[in-house]
Amino acid sequence: MAAPLCVQLEFGGGAELLFDGVRKHQVTLPIQPGPWDIRCLLVWIKENLLKERLELFMQGDSVRPGILVLINEADWELMGELDYQLQDQDNVVFISTLHGG
Amino acid sequence: MPAPVLCQSCGAGRAALRRPKTGRALCRACFVAAFEAEVHGTIVSARLFQPGETVAVGASGGKDSTVLAHLLRLLNERHGYGLRLLLLSIDEGIAGYRDDSLEAVRRNRGRLGLPLHVLSYQELYGWSMDRIARHVGPKNNCTFCGVFRRQALDRGAALLGADKIATGHNADDVAETVLMNFLRGDVGRLRRCAGILTGGEGTLPRCKPLKHAYEKEIVLYAYFQGLDYFSTECVYAPNAYRGHTRTLLKDLEAVRPSAVADLVHSGERLAVREDVRMPTQGICQRCGYLSSQPLCKACVLLEGLNRGLPRLGIGKPSRLQKALTGAEKPEAGFQEDSEQSSNAVRTIDF
């Protein structure tokens, strides 16, 4: 049984446009039976934060290719990607590379 | 919690990213140093610049051109290239997109201390993209915009006395273009599109110093360096064929990160059979711009707009070219008199 987690989510590079233009979100994730990994976080974001055009943010159960994810300022590819287990006070940044040049 | 991965270069710092090209994990400082050194390496090995040249950096306010302008200024000082750099922005006239992105360019201009010049479609062609889109409808807007922008950068840079244009095209852009030209069967463009230094013969040389830089690294470089860029999607872009090509490439890259560099490599190495007839480059009868047809694409598109037939320049050109050039007089059409158009470029002062 995991305790509620407070994490900071940040959207940039154009991804914030899918979240009413709001870049920073301080969120509390509710208690759930299993651990909070990024896979669960994405489902939570989809159900609670995302305002429009799901297909521009997600593909399958992951982020759409071309959206970079940083967990505590490090590339999620170094952190286990979807399997990373969130800790209290973690910072997760989503940056779209898909916008303009 | 997994133990932090250490930098594979210095062995001390906490790794901040995995590089898509090499798979190596680097810390922030080592990545920034490597990224800058690689772009410098590209510039030197391809001999992109000569000392004393004036280089117009195409500045859209987006991530690529923001990183390019930042890097060129930095490397010009660090390595003594001896370049005079200036920023050139094209205002297509797209409300809610370009007006906002030009604001980002203006903010960066202050930070970089480089002169900025803005040239608009309205001034150059008498049409803004918003007005074009109202006439053309939802499709083909990128055709107009792309053709017009290419010429606008050339004309702007020529007016400013630049010797060369530098654009922010990155490895993903080049890979996309290779793929797109392949899918379209456009052999002429396929052969040229992967070149790092193009043009000459009637147009200003253009170069792509970020040609080997992955989009992911450009975005992370901007993020780590705190660069301010603008990132709204163009309101007309969703209908472009390029968008589909881009999605395909991103999916490929997710499976195999080297796909981007591999496609760039393919574009560079492709040889076209000798018996394939290539379009011959000539000069547009109307405006004097480089063209493989009697009239350049911009003049055909403009003619269509001005005649109220906006679809005129879309599709295969041959029959149309004959009809349009039949009654052509040399002095008709676009005026390229430099005195006349010199008021078209304005310097923005703060």
Q: What is the pLDDT of residues A43-98, one digit of tens each?
A: 999 999 998 888 889 999 999 998 999 999 999 999 999 999 999 999 999 999 87
pLDDT band at B346 (very low <50, low <70, confident <90, very high): very low
Q: What is the pLDDT of residues B46-78, one digit of tens each?
A: 999 999 999 999 999 999 999 999 999 999 999
Return the pLDDT at B286: 87
Contacts of B2 in chain A (CB under 8 A): 79-80, 84
* Separation CA A12–CA B33 (nearest Å): 24
Q: What is the pLDDT of residues B327-345, one digit of tens each?
A: 554 444 444 343 333 444 4
Dig out the tokens for B304 from the structure.
């269509």
Q: What is the pLDDT of residues B239-250, one digit of tens each?
A: 567 788 888 999
Domain boundary among B272, B293, B314: B272
Helix ranges (DSSP H) in chain A: 38-48
**SS3 at position B344:** helix
Residue ranges and CATH numbers for the domains of chain A are 5-96 (3.10.20.30)
Q: Which of B28, B62, B219 sits opposite A68 (nearest CB)?
A: B219
The identity of residue B215, as a single letter, is E
How much of chain B, in percent, has pLDDT values that exceed 90? 49
Same domain assignment for residues B183 and B322: no
Domain boundary among B241, B272, B303: B272
pLDDT band at B265 (very low <50, low <70, confident <90, very high): very high
Same domain assignment for residues B268 and B295: no
Contacts of B172 in chain A (CB under 8 A): 97
Return the pLDDT at A100: 56
Whether A101 sits inside 8 A of B246 (CB atoms) is: no
Dig out the tokens for A93 from the structure.
């940044």
Same domain assignment for residues B173 and B71: yes
Tokens 């039949």, located at residue? B326
* Separation CA B247–CA B294 (nearest Å): 35
CB of A61 closer than 8 Å to CB of A83:
no
What is the helix (H) or strand (E) element at residue A67, kind and residue range? strand A67-71
Residue B226 within a domain:
yes
Return the pLDDT at B140: 79
By C-alpha distance, the chain A residue nearest B61 is A101
Residue B238 within a domain:
yes
Same domain assignment for residues B63 and B191: yes
Domain boundary among B231, B255, B272: B272
* Separation CA A67–CA A90 (nearest Å): 19
DSSP bridge pairs for B291: B282
Kindly report the CA angle at A84 between A80 and A87, in degrees rounded to 5?
145
Closest chain B C-alpha to A53 CA, distance in angstroms = 13
Whether A66 sits inside 8 A of B232 (CB atoms) is: no
Same domain assignment for residues B238 and B299: no
B251 is in which domain, residue-wise? 28-272
Same domain assignment for residues B215 and B109: yes
* Separation CA B25–CA B39 (nearest Å): 19
Chain A positions contacting chain B at CB under 8 Å are 12-14, 17, 64-66, 68, 70, 73-75, 77-80, 84-85, 87, 93, 95-101
How much of chain B, in percent, has pLDDT values that exceed 70? 87
Residue B218 within a domain:
yes
Q: How many residues does chain A have?
A: 101
Residue B19 within a domain:
no
Closest chain B C-alpha to A89 CA, distance in angstroms = 13
Same domain assignment for residues B266 and B286: no
Same domain assignment for residues B194 and B81: yes
Whether B17 sits inside 8 A of A75 (CB atoms) is: yes
Residue B101 within a domain:
yes
Return the pLDDT at B309: 79
Burial class (CB in 10 A: 0-12, 13-18, 19+), B258: middle
Dig out the tokens for B207 from the structure.
């170069």
Same domain assignment for residues B234 and B288: no
Same domain assignment for residues B169 and B302: no
Average pLDDT taken over every residue of chain B: 85
Residue B216 within a domain:
yes
Same domain assignment for residues B47 and B65: yes
Tell me how crowded residue A60 is: count the other CB atoms within 10 A of its CB.
7
Closest chain A C-alpha to B208 CA, distance in angstroms = 13
CB of B281 closer than 8 Å to CB of B191:
no
Q: What is the pLDDT of residues B163-216, one digit of tens each?
A: 999 999 999 999 999 999 999 888 888 888 889 998 866 778 999 999 999 999
Residue B7 within a domain:
no
The identity of residue B66, as a single letter, is T
CB of A82 closer than 8 Å to CB of A61:
yes
Whether B234 sits inside 8 A of A84 (CB atoms) is: no
Q: Is residue B238 scored above 60 in pLDDT?
A: no
* Separation CA B206–CA B184 (nearest Å): 24
Residue B202 within a domain:
yes
Contacts of B218 in chain A (CB under 8 A): 97
Total of domains in chain B: 2
- CATH code assigned at B217: 3.40.50.620
Kindly state the average pLDDT of the residues B135-143. 82
Same domain assignment for residues B249 and B293: no
Whether B168 sits inside 8 A of A101 (CB atoms) is: yes
**SS3 at position B144:** helix
Closest chain B C-alpha to A47 CA, distance in angstroms = 24
* Separation CA B129–CA B92 (nearest Å): 6
